[in-house]
Structure 1
């Protein structure tokens, strides 16, 4: 699935340049970190909890184990995609703050109500976001806020989310936040404001039959 669909944003990447990243599975300064953004850790436990929430929602949304196995097979990159989203949330929020952009709770509610009308109600919206973007119902409003921040930031910049000016603002925010990923999850490309893969042969991810994420 294309990253723009996974992030639920009409964002397109450009310009390649690698970001600094953590060495080994966590370093002495940030043990247990899946990523460090602006000096704040996203812990491995927080990431795994978020992934497990998605898996539980996916399991609840299908009728039987066979269908759930199909879901697991089609979303094998969920952990890395989820971390990408968690980091991008913070990068985009920083870029919005730099531009003086804010999003109110009322705006999020209005957007959600409009989307619910389009898809036949709250349940339909939750199902659509889970299936298309890997966003569990508990974090749906957070994702809608992210979209609104992106839209309003693009408007403030006089551009849209597919143009270089928008990505330049995100790149600047990525640099300010000194984003670093644990290499088991890849690295952060500052210019693209996107996670990129690196080889980590010593790490293996396993999803149990119940959907729980394990790393070995």
Structure 2
């Protein structure tokens, strides 16, 4: 059984949603309409915008709406970074024989809610990180996968695995969101390292 953390460490310093123009296909830029390309598959601008909208809608429905919106100045960029990181972690887990069962997910979600003070409180914890309620299970699954990799391989080796996997996936990012750094596992503007943990993540560990 995997010991769990309740929040993915890919924390949020997030951002107002800006309309994202189509790119022209040149150089290393993604194909038109892509926010990023990962392993030859596009993360489209519309997919990114849909996730950002889900966060914004949840923020506006929160009692702390003004604070949450004001404190998420790079939401589009950070959401895209998380979407890419989830794909890298998922691939690294698969390549190293890691899988998370539905039962483990249910237990982890229940434990996280209990530690946070209930389902509403847990949603608030994730919303602080720019994660919409509908994406909490994805975040927990990725954290379980990463925790299992850490336990099996150790921190130094996991960083190597993430970097290698990131390179193998040939990640290209729309320049408006930054330039992807395989070693850091982020678009360079965010400067968010693979294994850095946020205060919220540490509190929920």
Q: Report the TM-score, using the length of structure 1 for normalisation.
A: 0.74
Q: Mind listing any 5+ residue stretches in structure 2 that lack a counterpart? A: 1-6, 12-21, 191-205
The correspondence of residues 11-22 of structure 1 with structure 2, limited to 5 A, is none
Q: Which residue of 2 aligns with 1:103?
A: 100
- Who is 1:176 aligned against? 168
- RMSD of aligned alpha carbons: 2.0
Shift of 1:105: 1.3
Cα distance in 2 for residues equivalent to 1:26 and 1:104: 41
Residue 121 of structure 1: aligned partner: 118
The 1:152–1:118 alpha-carbon spacing in structure 2 relative to 1, beyond 3 Å, is: same
SS of residue paired to 1:191:
coil
Unaligned runs of 5+ in 1: 1-6, 12-23, 199-216
State the SS of the aligned residue for 1:102. Answer: coil
Aligned-partner SS, 2:42: strand
TM-score for both structures, normalised by structure 2: 0.78
Report the Cα offset of residue 10 of structure 1: 7.6
Aligned-partner Cα distance in 2 for 1:50–1:179: 20
Give me the whole-angstrom Cα distance separating, in 2, the residues matched to 1:109 and 1:173: 28
Corresponding residue number in structure 2 for 1:36: 37
Which of the numbers 21, 24, 27 marks the counterpart of 2:25? 27
Matched residue, 1:80: 77
Q: CA deviation at 1:91?
A: 0.5
Q: Per-residue CA shift, 1:48-102, capped at 9, x if unaligned?
A: 110010000000112xxxx534322211011111001000000111111111111
CA contact (8 A) 1:26 1:33 kept: no
Q: How does 1:61-80 map to 2 (within 5 A)?
A: 61-62=62-63, 68-80=65-77
Query: Cα deviations across residues 33-53 of structure 1 (Å, max 9, x unaligned)?
Result: 000001110000100110010
Instruction: Please state if 1:137 is matched with 2:152.
Output: no
Cα displacement (A) at 1:26: 4.6
Distance (Å, rounded) in 2 between the aligned partners of 1:124 and 1:149: 23
Contact 1:175–1:190, Cα closer than 8 Å, also in 2: yes
Instruction: Name the counterpart of 2:8.
Output: 8
What CA distance in whole angstroms lies between the structure 2 residues aligned with 1:61 and 1:170? 35
SS, match of residue 61 in structure 1: coil
Give the number of aligned pairs.
Answer: 171
Larger radius of gyration: 1
